[in-house]
Amino acid sequence: MKSLANLADDLAAGRTTSVDLTEAALARIDDPAGEGSRAFIKVYHQAAMDSARASDQARAHGVVPSPLAGIPVSIKDLCDVAGEVTLAGSIVRQDAEPAQQDAPTVARLRAAGAIIVGRTNMVEFAMGALGTNAHYGTPKNFFDRATGRVPGGSSSGAAVSVTDGMAAAALGTDTAGSVRIPAALCGMAGFKPTAQRVPKDGIYPLSRTLDSVGPLAPTVACCALVDAVFAGEAPPELSTMPLRGLRFAVPKHLVLDDMDEAVAGAFERSLEKLSENGALIDHIDFPELARMPVINRIGGFSTAEAYTLHREVLDRAGNQYDQNVAARIRLGEAWSAADYIDLTDIRADMMRAAHDRSAPYDAVIMPTTPVIACAIDDVADGEAWNTMNRLLLRNTLVSNFLDRCALTIPCHDQGEAPVGLMLMGEAMADHRLLEVGLAVEDCVAPDLA
């Protein structure tokens, strides 16, 4: 992986061209020994090369619309593209009507001059954290590829497209961790914005309450740049801040349970590094988090809202769904209107209580996932899939439920299994969290090389 800033510098200095970058990305996608056939559902060979040539010509005349100009990116298969059917990682929608226009986030990538190389594979209908897909295959995590480990989901192909050089950055979506989980398990940065900052129009929904759109990219600065494009903002001017004096809260409840040895070791080392560099670490009571498993015992907003969307199709074509996905969606059938209203009220109360606990701190920190990526074969049966799925979603769902922004940063040592450190900020404090994240990344993340 190479940072977007380095790629932009190479383009500006003439050390490379958009055509060169795009050809290299497409070659990696097409490599039969690689993961391209599983990481992508559709590849835009001709359109990407045409856009790259146009980008180089525009640059030669001084037209560079953004720091993303000329750089290959991928988009998740939830995104509308004009004239195409949005499959959402499924075969059920193959006969659906084509989209009339690009999703705003896709249109903004094009306006920024990014080269869209293809649509990435995902968990069907974004309904899972492992990254498996029964229809289009499961792209393997770059770590321990011989074993064949899950990439994380639901933005599975998005993560693999970046680690394997098939794209420099990726558009993902995050309803309960679907950006941050694959980013953490694959060793890169991933950012979940406060949901309202980035438009969700033209993105096939999972949960209208919890869905958000965010980037997966090599570094925090890369995520900040792509996030600004998604949000329709100017390129960010993030200030560099010292770690000394920053205050971080580590919740005592829920998020440190059931860590495996690799995650526990990397997390403790990260806390030590932050403390040694002057950050203040407080382990705080956060009892609201202990309520999360009970509150979401039948799937929370995601299953209720997904079932509303899918119930008619499930009735006539349920056998065409991945059965792990179908089973999760059908949990929504058990919801009553009273259950849904109760959950909405509980969420509002928890958001207020959580703000009071975390407001004195620059960020709440926790492991992004409590375990590293498991082997694909280990979650082949439904019970194992569900157990691991719930575990991977547990920590990341907190940010969506509380309507916060959140950032994952790799914190493992070079050569070890990827582990993510998650920072959770306040609602609409996205830029502040990204600035804090730059300081934390400089302290705990392994070098890209």
- Give me the active site residues, please: 76, 154, 178
The 3-state secondary structure of the chain reads CCCHHHHHHHHHHCCCCHHHHHHHHHHHHHCCCCCHHHHEEEECHHHHHHHHHHHHHHHHCCCCCCCCCCCEEEEECCECCCCCCCCCCCCCCCCCCCCCCCCHHHHHHHHCCCEEEEEECCCHHHCCCCCCCCCCCCCCCCCCCCCCECCCCCCHHHHHHHHCCCCCEEEEECCCCCCHHHHHHCCCEEEECCHHHCCCCCECCCCCCCCCEEEEECCHHHHHHHHHHHHCCCCCCCCCCCCCCCEEEEECCCCCCCCCHHHHHHHHHHHHHHHHCCCEEEEECCHHHHHHHHHCCCCHHHHHHHHHHHHHHHHHHHHHCCHHHHHHHHHHHHCCHHHHHHHHHHHHHHHHHHHHHHCCCCEEEEECCCCCCCEHHHHCCHHHHHHHHHHHHHHHHHHHHCCCCEEEEECCCCCCCCCEEEEECCCCCHHHHHHHHHHHHHHHCCCCC
Q: Are 267 and 444 in contact (CB under 8 A)?
A: no
Question: Rounded CA gap, 211 and 325, in Å?
Answer: 17
